[in-house]
Amino acid sequence: MTIVSSPADTGPVLRAEAVEIVRDGRHLLRDISLTVRPGEHWALLGANGAGKSTLLGLLGAVTHPSRGVVEVLGRTLGRVDVRELRSYLGHVNPRHTPDGPLRVRDVVLTGLTNTAALVPRWTPTEQEEEQADRLIAMLGMSARAEAGWPTLSQGERGRALIARALMPSPRLLLLDEPATGLDLAAREQLLAGIDGLRARHTSLATVLVTHHLEELPATTTHAMLLREGRCLALGPVADVLTSDLVSTCFDHPVRLIRSDDGRWAARAERAVFSAV
């Protein structure tokens, strides 16, 4: 599989400059600037309501900024057909609900038309069918390819939705809390799947939203910390994922631990009570 088909194949995959989003007179995002290059894997972290999903909506060409500039795959929002632009992106929304009694392979194929159901009178080519089967295999789902969507576990759905998002061979994959609702084994399988995907497709860029550091794949290269709609810090993970910055971000003292396998864990700092 080649992950190359999109406008403006060179340069940053995403660029936001001095972006603001205002709704009902309230700033949901303020002064956000960010550049994502091919091969970078960003984590977007912040407490509930910090603005992560709002920012991902901008980066996925779903919404427009109130002020500032957003370029997605080299195209400036506001000057481009966003529906066409979106067809070049992979966007994994764990709340995606397929329309109708679809099998896993059908749901993956709907990634090509970016629809909830199979488009009437649309028939995938042989190559597209093969692509779907390759992606299903890559995400470890071959044994469930013929299964009906309602019979899947949450973890299986998560992996099938990543395969769906990869159908248009995107250069950019956006993942909105992909581990939500997964049990321990399913989460670990999902993270291994994301690590494997990044290793195989070295120019793919990803942005993953979460509020749990334990849900970050080891291959995460960069992070942005959002707090109350503002960027608290951004850059390589070694600079940004520190106990001090994460404590400020979540308004709670935490100790950050990075284990030998490259994964992170956060522990709340306990208050020390002295005996009287």
Residues lying near ligand ATP in the complex (CB under 6 A)? 23-24, 28, 46, 48-54, 211
Smallest distance from ligand ATP to CB 161, Å: 18
CB of 204 to ligand ATP, least distance (A): 23
Helix (H/G/I), strand (E/B), else coil: 236: strand
CB atoms inside a 10 Å sphere around CB 56: 21
CA separation for the pair 79, 247 (Å, rounded): 39
**Smallest distance from the beta carbon of 186 to ligand ATP, in angstroms?**
20
Smallest gap from residue 144 Cβ to ligand ATP (A):
28
Contact 54, 21 (CB under 8 A): yes
45 or 108: CB nearest ligand ATP? 45
Whole-number minimum distance, CB 250 to ligand ATP, in Å?
11
Q: Which amino acid is at 204?
A: L
Strands 205-210 vs 41-46: parallel, antiparallel or unpaired: parallel
Q: 204 to each of 59, 87, 169, 198, 243, how far by Cα in Å?
A: 15, 16, 9, 7, 29
Two tokens, residue 237: 């993970």
Strands 67-72 and 14-23: antiparallel
Nearer to ligand ATP, 59 or 160 (CB): 59
CB nearer to ligand ATP: give 49 or 78. 49
Q: What's the rounded Cα separation, in Å, for the pair 276 and 269? A: 22
For residue 23, the minimal CB distance to ligand ATP (Å) is 4
Nearer to ligand ATP, 28 or 118 (CB): 28
Locus of tokens 């850059």? 235
Token pair for residue 252?
A: 């709670």
**What is the rounded CA–CA span in Å between residue 276 and residue 274?**
6
Containing 205, the helix (H) or strand (E) segment is: strand 205-210
Residue placing its CB nearer to ligand ATP in the complex, 166 or 207: 207
Q: How far apart are CB 64 and ligand ATP at their closest, in Å?
A: 12
By beta-carbon proximity to ligand ATP, the closer residue of 43 and 50 is 50
